[in-house]
Amino acid sequence: MNRDFLYILRFTIQPGCCDEERIEQLISFCRQARIDDVMFFIDCEELNTGFITKEEARPWLDVISRAKERLEPLGITTSINPWVTLVHADRGRSLREGQNFNRMVDVEGNMAKVQACPLCEEWRKYITELYAYYATIKPNMIWVEDDFRFHNHSPLVWGGCFCEKHMEEYSRRAGKKLTREEFVEGILKPGKPHPYRKIWLDTCRETLVDIAEAIGKAVHEVSPSTRVGLMSSVPAVHCAEGRDWNGILKGLARNTPPVNRPHLPAYSETTPQEYLWDFNKVSRMTREILPDNTEVYPEMDNFPFSRFSSSRSFTRFQVETSAFLDAEGITLSLFNMMGTGVIMSEGYQKELAESKDFLNSIKALGLKQKFQQGVKVLYSPESSYTLHTFEGKSMTELYPDETFWASLLSCYGIANTFSDSKEHSGSTVAVSGQYFRNLSAHEIEKLFESNFVILNGDAAYTLADMGLGHLAGISDVAWHGADSGFQAYEQVCNGKSYCGVPLARSTAQFDLGSFLEIKYLENPELITEVRNPYGKVVCPGITIYKDRVLILPYGRISTRHLAHLNPIKQAIFQDVLKNAKGGPRIFVEGVPYVLPCIYDMGCVSVLLLGNFSNDGHDEIRLYAPDIPERFVTEINRKQPGGVRADMVRDGEYIILRSGLRRLETKAFVWENRYALK
């Protein structure tokens, strides 16, 4: 395994379009930006003409081979990124003469013009032969793009596939002749999952694993050392097609390390605050769900590719925060896919070169997500098998919503980590969505007996719907829409002043999702009470039940969450965690959007701090009763070799006096003789 943090540049040279000039520009950029691998596109995006033939691919391989000869003496490897497997979207393309591929059909019976059905044997023969052909130049890696999926195949409604061949397979598994309408209705039937749901998920799951194995076999028969990587997108959406992450990656990898390119949640620059929410929802979730031995190279995109899309500082921020994904490196989409080549005046090379030593130092620490400590955010990679739909109208209802707490707690500055384990003891665990439907009643009871449990409204509703509401003191529940008029605002009612404000208030009707009115078996500890527009108390708000269950009664949130992000709620949650019977409890006090990730790795422990905000901080006040203040090394961009950390103890807090600049990431390392308790 390479010791350096790898920079992998995604790049297009179209055959016959200033080939030599583009190669010269590429070499100059690679030297200045400290690039380690160039991932060359073939037949990509605007230049894509559908399913290209071997004859049409030959000029692409020729120019890549010429570039490879120039790059190898510089220690730069060459990889290939074919643009299509099934094809991303029709975009007016069509099949070539002689390509008699079965095409994908959506839930409404619409057929794609070019996008292939993955059960088509003729297409399978085509794609494996083409990937084997790409392998003839012995690339370092060959990538499978994220069109390797059933969903998101525009202009199809959601995706596919419900073609005749698929319907025959679904019917075979069901033991009866099925119509498309009947089968889709069964998949989405509200309430307890219909048996057709499992048929859908199992078929999708097995199909993609089978194709991955065929592609991996085809490549490695030609070039055994070439690794085959997979780009992925949103885990919740992949879940709705039954994705077997281990099976697909193992099939592509065979006897080489599995490789994944997770999606980073900003195709063009967004606010760093928004980025943090989706970074947890998509990128950290993807890293967690992958097999432990997977090499991860997240994709930093920049569409449509210039500083008009993403500033140099935001690009560096994305690159450096990939350290939170235990990444082996990063793939860089900096220049357009039409073959324009490098635009040196954009200046990305300077930022990349300056960050390289810092990222090498972080990578050398050997951070792994499995070593992370903090609040455990529970999830299941198979939740689409168990969740209940409510309307039964859209495939999007199969998306689980189990990342809410990872996003919210991270924005609050509270250390957290994902877990798919069903057994926990002495921990603080956080549950959202319909996660509980993956557990037996006994497993749920043990979870509440042995841990401090945090629930949102969806989790509380699910618990009650399963007949287990008593575990959280719940006797009855009722949903109220965001603008129902039932709830207007919350008011602190426990006598505490949060952020120095008595009787502090926060909205209960805007950007929160729906509100879950909860009636309790016995009076819980009230932190807030909910009032209507006239000031009348209508029900409890945030509560603690028997010192072991914390409930935030909002759910069905979709993307509406902004009003949860306020200093009052941050202070409430941090105050509760100080006394929670589950640890370790680590958080950044008093500032928003500073993410702490803590790793306990045996011989050393590491704290990663990332500032996902445009505000800098002169010092950081860290609640960390179990972390020492002595003999700690700080690693930052300007001092990648490490310096003694400037920190002092203040009771249960540590003050990091070197502060944290806007969009900055740092690491703090200490020996395990001072390990976490």
DSSP 242-304: T--HHHHHHHHHTTS--EEEPBPS-SS---HHHHHHHIIIIIIHHHHHS-TT-EE--EE--TT
For residues 325 and 372, what is the distance between their CA atoms, to the nearest angstrom?
11
- Which amino acid, residue 109? G
For residues 383 and 434, what is the distance between their CA atoms, to the nearest angstrom?
8
Q: Residue 557: is its pLDDT beyond 70?
A: yes
Over residues 520-539, the mean pLDDT reads 97
Per cent of the chain over pLDDT 90 is 93
List the structure tokens of 468: 């287990």
Scored b (16 or more CB within 10 A) or e, 210-223 reads: ebbbbbbbbbbeeb
432 contacts 399 by C-beta, under 8 angstroms = no
pLDDT at 561: 81
608 contacts 596 by C-beta, under 8 angstroms = yes
For residues 223 and 76, what is the distance between their CA atoms, to the nearest angstrom?
19
For residues 194 and 254, what is the distance between their CA atoms, to the nearest angstrom?
35
pLDDT at 672: 65
For residues 25 and 541, what is the distance between their CA atoms, to the nearest angstrom?
60
CB atoms within 10 A of CB 621: 17
Mean pLDDT (the chain) is: 95
With cut-offs at 50, 70 and 90, classify the pLDDT of residue 675. Answer: very low
Peptide bond between residue 204 and the one before it cis (omega within 30 degrees of 0): no
Peptide bond between residue 640 and the one before it cis (omega within 30 degrees of 0): no
The CATH architecture to which 588-674 belongs is: Sandwich (2.60)
Superfamily covering domain 374-580 = Class I glutamine amidotransferase (GATase) domain (3.40.50.880)
pLDDT tens readout for residues 264-313? 999 999 999 999 999 999 999 999 999 999 999 999 999 999 999 999 99
For residues 378 and 224, what is the distance between their CA atoms, to the nearest angstrom?
38
- For the segment(s) 6-368, the CATH number from 3.30.390.50, 3.40.640.10, 3.40.50.300, 3.20.20.80 is 3.20.20.80
| Sequence-distant (≥ 6) Cβ neighbours of residue 328 within 8 angstroms | 1, 2, 5, 6, 295, 296, 297, 363
The yes-or-no answer to whether 6-368 and 374-580 have a common fold is no
Strand partners, 501: 498
Domain residue ranges in the chain: 6-368, 374-580, 588-674
Q: Residue 1: is its pLDDT beyond 60?
A: no
569 contacts 576 by C-beta, under 8 angstroms = no
